Structure 1
Amino acid sequence: MAATLRDFVQWSKKPAKDVDTATTPNVNLLRGLAARATTPLLPDDYLKLLNPLWSARELRGEIVEVRGETEDSATVTIKPGWGFSAQYRPGQFVGIGLRVDGRWHWRSYSLTSVPHRDDKNITITVKATPEGFLSTHLVHGVKPGTIVRLAAPKGDFALPDPAPPKILFISAGSGITPLMAMLRSLKLRGESPNVVHIHSAPSTDAVIFHDELRELEKEQPGYRLHLQLTETNGHLDFNELDSVVPDWKDRPTWACGPAAMLDTAEKVWQDAGLQDALQTERFTIARTDKGGEGGTALFSISDKSVEIDGATSLLEAGEKVGIQMPFGCRMGICQTCVLPLESGHVRDLRSGDEHGAGDRINTCVSTASGDCTIKI
């Protein structure tokens, strides 16, 4: 009897086994039964008639508000649909998929919201950049009511609960976004650790959350903000860190911003023997000049192929031909994008290392090194 029940549960869950919900254990049982009940038609054909946020095979959300923060940034509020877990940690990121002109575009953004029992909406705060197609669309083009795809929150750049008694935050530009979630979480939890926050931006007008940060400084006696306005005062000089934060060596540190700033911070902390006290979050990967030679990538299950120039990742290439590729951080860290390489060779964009048939590869940081076949 036990084996029969177990077999039934496995049979029921199977159609939805790949949906990453990170939520209650029975939700995929319900998804799977919905899929079984509507075979051979897709359950989404029925579910979307009732509610566009209901899906048996993916997580969805609805954009309910886009609020400008600065001239080139905005906070996007999203109402998650069926199966999205609100049990994320301040500092983590969420994957967003948006269909623009018939093509899906994917990106991960730090959550700037914190979990609430009565408000399950989430927010991301996005800065538009010239090279960022999706970020520009989210800031200037997306409309309330737009349905997006979501990936469950992930990431190790997160604030512990309870927080340490002394903290140093270092951020620049949009790197403030995960730290804002941490600051809001501390306030919500009623914690008042001693926080020194160094933030760099070109000018006051370019500081995302400027008014909220200044209000925090008034309300929270333990919070001190040091604004480094680069147009007038230049970039932060880590050699002068002692004058800004005399006890920085005694503070667990979270830093997020441009790669050059983080590279410098990591060297300073390492030279001081404090590398374990520094956590960093990078929004872009550092790619080497050892890219692959390019080639044709075949996605065997989808039966689609695409030419890759050797500088484009397999993840990006798959998305360009309409394949719903798994992804998370897009930096080769979280392992969400790992897929088996059936044949050929690929090269890691970070290190230049080559991988062959039978290897499991990070598609977000791998490119074709000749013709290759990926199982998806």
Structure 2
Amino acid sequence: MAPQREWFEKDYYATLGVTESASAKEITSAYRKLARELHPDANPGDAAAEERFKEVSAAYDVVGDPEKRKEYDEVRRLGPMAGGFGAPGGAGGFGGPTGGFNFSTEDLGDLLGGLFNRGRGGGGGATRTRGAGPQRGRDLEAELHLRFEDAVRGVTTSVNLTSDATCSTCHGSGARPGTSPTVCSRCGGRGALEDNQGFFSFSQPCPACGGRGQVVEDPCPTCAGTGVERRPRTVKVRIPAGVDDGQRIRLKGRGDAGRNGGPAGDLFVVVSVAAHDVFGRSGRHLTLTVPVTYPEAVLGADIRVPTLDGEPVTLRVPAGTRSGRTFRVKGRGVQPAKGPSGDLLVTVEVAVPSQLSDAERAAVEALAAAESSTSPRAHLGV
């Protein structure tokens, strides 16, 4: 990826409110927080919030990607001297904004490939230039909040996001409806010009078409000839039963639209599962804590316990059950589409009353007197 002019002018770390030494997890956390606050759906009609949302998204697109972040840090360290080859947008050329012959390591690879008449993909023939040909769209990430029940059972829902999408007016051609792009007459549609000098063959992007191989003579009024427009959209997503909190679900081809006929990126949906008032999760098992009285634990009892599907079950608590013991109710846990069903794990806790009636106190004192000869701490030697 060629360095962009904005890389020298903007501090993406400051945009996200993190330090340059921030971990990838800290950067992602900061981005998600800002994206939630600034998302157009949360700020309808607020142009300032929408512009800030775009800035935050652009910053995360660079420093949220390990490879781009590494290159960004190197470019920022070297300063403007690092930006020689890539003009904004990657159209390229041999000179930077000030005409200097400066380049990054990626540009050096392109230069050496051009010297020996081979592109980065190997083989002979025309050199493959950056910025020419189809370009894959960016991968996107969206957060989806789910109820506990929906995460356990699975649900079909949707996420809302604002991103690059194929232009709805020209359908990605970049040309005004009723017209079509024409083959570049200067490069013959190859997107590159070669200068053969004996043993060496130099190649650079065609300045007439910017390396695309086509010229849009009458640009689309909606996308200004790019074939891509930024707009809000809704994406349907199928959440499988048993999805975990923090799990990422990939939707292939639902990310940013590609350019120059390239494929769209992917959309990664990060699931955030709300806690339940009664139940918990342990993998494919559901967990439940049920209080029992002291007589029930000592003498044994049949107790009714709830299940997530709304049908209570009867659980036999044996006599002499200790507080904290866990019982298993088969098949009442998570039922994923693939693999075995989970169970309901019921943990009993002996409820200790904080207030006693006179009759209850008398009964407890009588029990204490009856048990005075045998201490449960005798084995401790104290």
**TM-score over 0.5 for the alignment?**
no
**Structure in which a larger fraction of residues adopt strand:** 1
What TM-score results when the alignment is normalised by the length of structure 2? 0.23
Larger of the two Rg values belongs to structure: 2
